[in-house]
Structure 1
Amino acid sequence: MDKSIHEKIEFLSRRVQELSRQQTMVSSQLIQLIDELEALKRTANASAEIVSESVEQVEIKTVPPPPPPPPLPQQKAVKTTTTHSSSSFEEFIGKNVASKVGILITIIGIFIGAKYAIEHEMVNPLVRVLFGYLAGIALVVVAIRLKKKYEAYSSVLMGGGLAVLYFITYTAYSFYQLMPQMAAFALMLVFTAGTVYAALLYNRVIIAHLAQIGAYAIPFLLSDNSGRYAVFFGYVAIINAGILIVSLRKYWKSLFYSAFILTWFIYGFWYITSFHYQLHRYIAWTYLVIFFLIFYATFLAYKIIKKEQYGLSDVFVLLSNAFIFYGFGFSLLNYESPDTAFNYAGIFTLVNAAIHLSVSQVIRRLQLADRSLYYLLLGLVIVFCTIAIPVQLDGNWVTLLWTAEAVLVFLIGRMRRAGSYEKLGVGLTILSFLSLVQDYYSYYGQFTSNTGSQVHPFVNIVFVTGLLVAAAQGAIIFYHRSKNYQTTLGPSSLFLGFYNYCLPAIFLVTTFSLFYIEIDHFFNRLQESSEVLYLSTSDFAVVVLLLYAMVFFIAVMMVNQRWGRNKMLAAFLLSGTSLLMVMLIMHTLEVLNDLTRAYYQNGGGYFGALEFYIRYIVIAVTALLLYKGQQTLHEFGQEPAIKKSWTLMIYGVALAFISAEYLCWTAFTGAGKQYKLGLSIVWGIYALMLIVLGIRKKQKHLRLAAIALFMITLIKLFFYDLAGSSTITKTISFISLGVLLLVMSFLYNKYKEVLFGDGEKENL
């Protein structure tokens, strides 16, 4: 058995050695074959692909050589890679960068030399022009001769030669008048066509870029301030036409962007530094329209011919072109007389909208591009219609039209699932709200002035405008929350956050302010019409406005509990309610007492017995507000600390009402002199009640509040109540509060096991 195993081991060992030798031989043969194939690859370029595929096939079928691997192929590969990387960098510098820099420097040198010859009158104008043409033609001829073997280098020379020809033609016409205007334009058209042909022939964007740089720079390098701006801008327009044709044909968008930036920069620089309205008005308008249409048509051509989806850069270019055109045009209109400028400004704005509307409809009807471009252009129509409103109109019409646009744009965005329209709706909504705020400001100035009686509360255009704006905001919120109209905005989009949070807040502010301002307006008018008789009108207005705020909060709480279910809104309402309670305690309760006192003294003012009963209306509405707030607090699960604070606020408001009632009635019954002592006793009894409730409900915060109230009462007693009081008053005060403190101490001792046992489980 052992012998058999040893024999098998020896047999397998020999077999492994044989296979290893065979594998080594195969690997050596494969290496030789690869070297031969590489040599064939270098000598037979025509069959390079076939050889390469053969190598790949052989490599796939080969068995990895046994260790150690042959060092020669690896070392050879490393060496080849390093050489190739080094030679690639050297080739890039020598063949690419050097040629472009060289031709650029050559062109600049020609320009500088020509300028020097011109300034020093070294040669006559005709010779200068002829030499210039010869230099440009020489560069073009050399470029053509070198194209077959040195295409990249030839393309650089071609671009430089065309730039020189541009320069010479412009110089011959503008400075020396050696040719008529038509001849100059004809030559420039020829050279433009040559640039187009050369760029297409070489399929290199550098030709067009070099011609573009030279063409734009020459007028500035050789300018003599002759003031021939019409010729100059015509020259720029022809250059743009040729360059943009190339950029469209070969999809070289860098040409389009550079032409766009340079052209508007040149026009703007001229407009700021050299424009005179009387001399240049027609030149300014003519080339403003030409440049706008050239870039507009090119942009549309990209989208229509190339079937290209628009991106952020495209939106920026389209909007920039439209608003640059509109901005310069609007500025030109300002040079007209005020009446004429006012009439033309609105018409010019609507013309802009009409241009984009016409183009959008043509695209839609002929189906020239996808719907995204149609919606983008339609958005521009809406933008210019929006601008036209304040330009031509004033006052509330601006607010109404912007509001209508906001709703329309938002609905289009949702129904057509176009997110850009939803974003545009955000801007229009904010604009309409700000316009409404301005209307309110102007309106408030009207009814607080001497002519305020001419504006009737609740029956005026501002109130109607506010109602429509609030209805529009509510409609947007409704459709935003509807499941039938889903948004295309991302979950993290700021615009979606606006519709979720900011717009509901704006809606609440709009609705609240709408009625608040009208109520305030009503009492202001009433106060102006009653100089002496109704002195309590302003006090009554304070109470009514607070009542309105509380009723508004109650209504919003009920709507949120029934439909909204918004936790953030609930927190806002609770915070607002707390603020209202502070206003009630700090100011309104005192005003209520003044109204009641005035009612008993004067038999009532303008509102009669309502000036007395309104105090109890306030109590009832406050109780309802606090009750709805308590429901909201429990329903939306606020923090325990907030619930405790809310409970303490309720008891604090109750104590404030009790104190106000006590002060009011003691004043009427003739016991007003004893109010200080009685109020301290009332506070002590109330504190004792809080102690009892705190013990029964196991609410520590109520007991601590009671102790704090006792301390405040004692401080008030010693430093305020007993100052100058009689002995009987002091005796009653001390005994009353002493008994209350003893009762409190008894309760703590009786229930100490419950309160301070093995940890009280506190109820909220």
Structure 2
Amino acid sequence: MDNSQKINLLLAKIENLSIRQQSFEAEIDSLRKEIDSLRSTEVQIGQSEVPKAVTFPPPKNTPAAPIAQYNATPRPITTPENRQPNFADRFSSKNMAKSDFEKFIGENLISKIGILILIIGVGIGAKYAIDNQLISPLTRIILGYLVGAGLMAFAIKLKAKYEKFSAVLMSGAIAIMYFITYAAYDFYALIPQALAFVLMVIFTSFTVVAAIRYNRQIIAHIGLVGAYAVPFLLSDGSGKVGVLFTYMAIINIGILVISFKKYWKPLFYASFALTWIIFLSWLLNSYTDKAHFLLSLVFSAIFFITFYITNLAYKVNKKEIFGFSDVTLILLNSFIYYGIGYYILSENKHGVELLGLFTLANAIIHFVVSLIIYKKKLADKNLFYLILAMVITFITMVAPVQLNGGWVTIFWTAEAAILFYLGRVKKIMIYEKLSFPLIFLAFFSLLQDWTTIYDVYLGSAVITPFLNVGFLTGVTFITGFAWMININRKETEAATKWVWMRQILNYALPSMLIIVVYFSMERELARYFNNLFETSKINLTPRQKDNYADYRYNYNYENLKNVWIYIYTMLFASILTLVNIKKLRSTELAVANLIINILVILSFLISGLYILSELRETYLNPEKFFVIGSFNIAIRYVAFIFFAFLIVTLYQLQHATLLKIKLKAMLDYVLYISILWIISSELINILELSRTHNSYKLGLSILWGVYSLFLIGLGLAKNKKHLRIGAMVIFGLTLIKLFFYDIAYLSTISKTVVFVSLGVLLLIISFLYNKYKHLIIDETEVKN
């Protein structure tokens, strides 16, 4: 048959199919009409919107007319709510998800729960038999091994067809073998120690092989990690901690071997957490220096080295990049071990002398690891930098652990600064990350030093201001942090990771530096007066000593110290504000300046003026043992000068345009309330010095009234409505004070003076409002 005949045959088939299609179209049309008639009832019920018709493209090689006729007929889309499910729905993603979930429960979860229940049931049955002496110890152990061996054989038989189920059975069998071996040695002494360890090594080796052959993490989890529970389930309080730690070490070595082939993070996390939790719990509750000194050092080192190698093994073997979790585990393992070793040595009278050597040994271990990684090129450079940074960390800690006090802070500060420099300037990101915790460690260590070195009540010890370890520590801290802030300002290259860390440092570094600069000087100032206080001690009973003696101290030094601290604080806040205005031009610091200045102002008005009044009282009524000079009064005006300086810098901060909001009204309130507060205090001071004790009530009422009149006049002159309102509030408070407080204690003449004076002031205020009311009206209109 030639090609022309084939073409004709195919055309005939197409024509035949077209005819059949037309008949199908007719049948489809009749069915559609029937469907439309059935849907009309839904429209009557309330279906207001008819779905749009769907058109279908004509198939290739088919006549267009029937298809066009088919598309011309409107057909509503069937909605998911009224569509009947069909066979294809069984394979939808939704139903497939349900099927997978059901499969997970049926094939995976139930088997694991079953093996767990089986092990618990065996344990309960064994405990009942033991408690009731139903079977001998040897029989118990034999039966236990038989159950484990039978379960293991059954698992091996099912492996070919039911691998997942077989893996669960295998893990349960391994856990039972651990259980029975530990019991046979520790509780019944049926097998010697050497044989018990040999059996455990065999079971561990078998577990490793099984986990790798099955490629199932569940075997390792239940078989190895689950074995941690054995000693506690069977514990009889015998205290054989050496056996327990050896047992745990064997399990961890098994996990180490697995880590060379598989990187099962959950397995490592579980064994890591369980091992250190068990060890730390024992260390804190049952450790005794005489019985456990060498044992605790040996096993903590074994655990540390095992986890160290385990964490590196798979990554180094596969040359994979270390992530955040890997770095965290290396650091956590190192510092847990170091903390444990430090505690053990510090509790031993001879071990204290070895703390520096122990710290150096940690540095050597990390150095050897970093050297091997560098020489063999076993991993990415970030791991090398991390371990090298730990070498630096422990080397810098050698001296501090042999010293006390501020030396630790000095070394931490220096190390944080060096690591920050290497990370930011040399672009070694891991160093910058490592500097982050050290920055905060140095800061909190310095605070701890201050609580011990500068404690006011340490005793009669006199520390020379500025020539002591505490001040040296502060200066070192200030130098290191100022250097880091300078680097942070210059090296601003955007980081792709850990951006949040840099954002924290942008605020944390300046904040900590400001705090340390302030308190470094403040503590030295306090120490100077504390020394004066200590040296002022007088023993009124010379024949008595210590607790039996009657000592007197010159407490005037305490008040002088507090006033000088207020003066220093106001000067510090003012200088910090001016430095920001003239040099730094930082908006964030400007907000901090505003908050700090207002808090200092309020603190001085509330507490500082009260302390000044205490100095006045001491001057007027001195204790007979001490001489109190007129400086108690003169220092008052020194404080007022620095207070005025702080107010001026606050206004300069507002005019410097560093703040995004206008604070003129608020600053006016701060200024004029401060003036009223201070002149009121000064009035009381003058009256007290003149020995007219009861006149301050009358004087304050008149002073507040005059001051209100002054504020109203100023508010009218400068068109400041807030000043006028504030003046009215002050005048209202004055009237309340007059009627509810002053009248009860004033004589008739005093009452007359007060009422006449305030009445005149009210009349003057009313006159001013009437005379200058056009200014108020104009101001209101302008604002509107």
How does the TM-score come out when normalised to structure 2? 0.69
After superposition, give the CA deviation of every residue in 1:451-480 in whole Å (9 maximum; x if it has no partner).
Answer: 43xx32233332232222233333333333
Residue 343 of structure 1 is matched in structure 2 by 353
After superposition, give the CA deviation of every residue in 1:411-437 in whole Å (9 maximum; x if it has no partner).
Answer: 344345566655654543344333333
Return the alpha-carbon distance in structure 2 between the equivalents of residues 722 and 696 of structure 1.
Answer: 37
Residue 696 of structure 1 is matched in structure 2 by 717
Residue 571 of structure 1 is matched in structure 2 by 594
Equivalent in 510, 521, 527 of residue 516 of structure 2: 510
After superposition, give the CA deviation of every residue in 1:485-505 in whole Å (9 maximum; x if it has no partner).
Answer: 6556656x3x55543434433
Residue 547 of structure 1 is matched in structure 2 by 567
Residues 600-749 of structure 1 correspond to what in structure 2 (within 5 A)? Answer: 618=639, 620-634=641-655, 635-637=657-659, 642-654=663-675, 686-708=707-729, 719=742, 723-724=746-747, 742-749=763-770
Residue 301 of structure 2 is matched in structure 1 by 289
Equivalent in 473, 478, 484 of residue 476 of structure 1: 484
Return the alpha-carbon distance in structure 2 between the equivalents of residues 725 and 263 of structure 1.
Answer: 86
Equivalent in 308, 311, 317 of residue 305 of structure 1: 317
Deviation of the 1:376 alpha carbon = 4.0
Return the alpha-carbon distance in structure 2 between the equivalents of residues 670 and 216 of structure 1.
Answer: 82
Tell me the SS of whatever aligns to 1:457.
coil
2:529–2:557 CA contact under 8 A, matched in 1: yes
Instruction: Give the partner amino acid of 1:551.
Output: L
Pairing 1:399–2:409 present: yes
Return the alpha-carbon distance in structure 1 between the equivalents of residues 534 and 197 of structure 2.
Answer: 76
Deviation of the 1:556 alpha carbon = 0.7
Return the alpha-carbon distance in structure 2 between the equivalents of residues 459 and 680 of structure 1.
Answer: 51
2:259–2:313 CA contact under 8 A, matched in 1: no
Equivalent in 178, 201, 211 of residue 213 of structure 2: 201
2:259–2:314 CA contact under 8 A, matched in 1: no
Return the alpha-carbon distance in structure 2 between the equivalents of residues 362 and 522 of structure 1.
Answer: 55
After superposition, give the CA deviation of every residue in 1:642-671 in whole Å (9 maximum; x if it has no partner).
Answer: 422321332344456666777888999999
Return the alpha-carbon distance in structure 1 between the equivalents of residues 97 and 677 of structure 2.
Answer: 88
Residue 246 of structure 1 is matched in structure 2 by 258
Deviation of the 1:628 alpha carbon = 1.8
Return the alpha-carbon distance in structure 1 between the equivalents of residues 604 and 145 of structure 2.
Answer: 89
* 428-437 vs 169-178, greater mean Cα deviation: 169-178
Residues 51-450 of structure 1 correspond to what in structure 2 (within 5 A)? Answer: 75-78=86-89, 147-152=159-164, 155=167, 189-212=201-224, 230=242, 233-264=245-276, 267=279, 281-311=293-323, 313-333=325-345, 336=348, 339-378=349-388, 380-381=390-391, 391-415=401-425, 422=432, 425-445=435-455, 449-450=459-460
Return the alpha-carbon distance in structure 2 between the equivalents of residues 266 and 330 of structure 1.
Answer: 18
Q: For structure 2, which runs of at least 5 residues remain unmatched after alignment?
A: 1-12, 26-58, 78-84, 539-553, 622-626
Deviation of the 1:385 alpha carbon = 6.4
Return the alpha-carbon distance in structure 2 between the equivalents of residues 526 and 497 of structure 1.
Answer: 45
Residue 557 of structure 1 is matched in structure 2 by 577
After superposition, give the CA deviation of every residue in 1:282-320 in whole Å (9 maximum; x if it has no partner).
Answer: 444433322322222111113212334444543554344
1:379–1:421 CA contact under 8 A, matched in 2: yes
Instruction: Give the partner amino acid of 2:252.
Output: N
Instruction: Give the partner amino acid of 1:293.
Output: I
After superposition, give the CA deviation of every residue in 1:135-193 in whole Å (9 maximum; x if it has no partner).
Answer: 76676666666655554555556556666666777677778888876666556555544
Residue 31 of structure 2 is matched in structure 1 by none
Tell me the SS of whatever aligns to 1:368.
coil
Return the alpha-carbon distance in structure 2 between the equivalents of residues 757 and 645 of structure 1.
Answer: 23
Instruction: Give the partner amino acid of 1:752.
Output: K
2:181–2:196 CA contact under 8 A, matched in 1: yes
Deviation of the 1:630 alpha carbon = 0.9
Deviation of the 1:216 alpha carbon = 5.1
1:443–1:462 CA contact under 8 A, matched in 2: yes
CA RMSD of aligned residues (A): 5.6
Deviation of the 1:547 alpha carbon = 3.1
* 289-298 vs 87-96, greater mean Cα deviation: 87-96
Deviation of the 1:225 alpha carbon = 7.8
1:414–1:486 CA contact under 8 A, matched in 2: no
Shift of the 144–619 alpha-carbon distance from structure 1 to 2, 3 Å rule, reads: closer
Return the alpha-carbon distance in structure 2 between the equivalents of residues 168 and 520 of structure 1.
Answer: 68
Pairing 1:460–2:468 present: yes
Aligned residue-pair number: 697
Deviation of the 1:210 alpha carbon = 4.9
Identity %: 40
Deviation of the 1:393 alpha carbon = 2.5
* 363-372 vs 551-560, greater mean Cα deviation: 363-372
How does the TM-score come out when normalised to structure 1? 0.71
Residue 609 of structure 2 is matched in structure 1 by 586
2:708–2:727 CA contact under 8 A, matched in 1: yes
1:547–1:618 CA contact under 8 A, matched in 2: yes
1:353–1:385 CA contact under 8 A, matched in 2: yes
Instruction: Give the partner amino acid of 2:472.
Output: V
Q: For structure 1, which runs of at least 5 residues remain unmatched after alignment?
A: 1-14, 28-59, 599-604
Shift of the 661–344 alpha-carbon distance from structure 1 to 2, 3 Å rule, reads: closer
Return the alpha-carbon distance in structure 2 between the equivalents of residues 675 and 223 of structure 1.
Answer: 80
